[in-house]
Amino acid sequence: MAGEKKGLQLLDFWVSPFGQRCRIALSEKGLPYEYLEQDLGNKSELLLRSNPVHKKIPVLLHDGRPVCESLIIVQYIDEAFPGKDGKPALLPADPYARAQARFWADYVDKKLYDCGTRLWKLKGEAQQQARKEMLEILRTLDGALGDGKFFGGEAFGFADVAIAPFTAWFLTYERHGEFSVEEECPRLAAWAKRCGERESVAKNLTPPEKVYEFICGMKKRFGIE
């Protein structure tokens, strides 16, 4: 669009695991960008104009043109900036491997966040059901990872970018569900630690205690004891 700012801008919210995916992808590609923190209680004109359909973060602006939805943004970054400075692609070249990476990213989007929300929001039998589902989800991911270093094998890739932000939420899930990820899913826990050692992940993830404090604040706002 004429007159729009050139370069990359990310409309985001500090604790959002969906926004953190985009930050990790940008970091993996070595791309400079302007971070624009959003007030989700008083959404900016820029956010509403950039994502008029969903009115949600994250939104990536590339030379003023908006790209919405976190997984679509990560794929866009991978495709729009291929091989920048020798950085490898996030999605593998093999079509089957690409399909598998997309499958697990989609699985997390459909399962993990919603279940985690129910785990800290609900009580009694409903919370116990959410706990059961959460353990099933985490065990499924543990099985999918297997003995691999990352979800795509030896290389950190698209599925890892999609799932890694939720590792910062594991502590919150553990405390509300009264379980240990390390005990229940040792391979997934080890993977989370490996991801956390990457610069792109370490500098973009919210510390787990901060996530827990944020959720405790949300519970007070909703009147949940």
Domain identity same for 39 and 141: no
The answer to the question of residue 214 being in a domain is yes
Both 132 and 69 in one domain: the answer is no
Has residue 154 been placed in a domain? Answer: yes
Q: What is the pLDDT of residues 53-66, one digit of tens each?
A: 999 999 999 999 99
Q: Which tokens go with 220?
A: 């007070």
Helices within the chain (DSSP H only): 17-29, 45-50, 70-80, 95-121, 124-145, 158-163, 170-177, 181-184, 186-196, 199-202, 208-222
pLDDT of the residue at 3? 47
CATH of the domain at 38: 3.40.30.10
Final residue belonging to a domain, choices 57, 86, 115:
86
Q: Could you tell me the residue range of the domain that residue 29 belongs to?
A: 8-86
With contact defined as beta carbons under 8 Å apart, do 184 and 139 qualify? Answer: yes
Asked if 46 and 100 sit in the same domain, the reply is no
Q: Give the total number of structural domains in the chain.
A: 2
Predicted confidence (pLDDT) per residue in 94-113, tens digit: 999 999 999 999 999 999 99
Q: What is the pLDDT of residue 148?
A: 95
Based on the fold, state whether residues 100 and 165 are members of the same structural domain.
yes
3 within some domain: no
CATH number for the domain including 193?
Answer: 1.20.1050.10
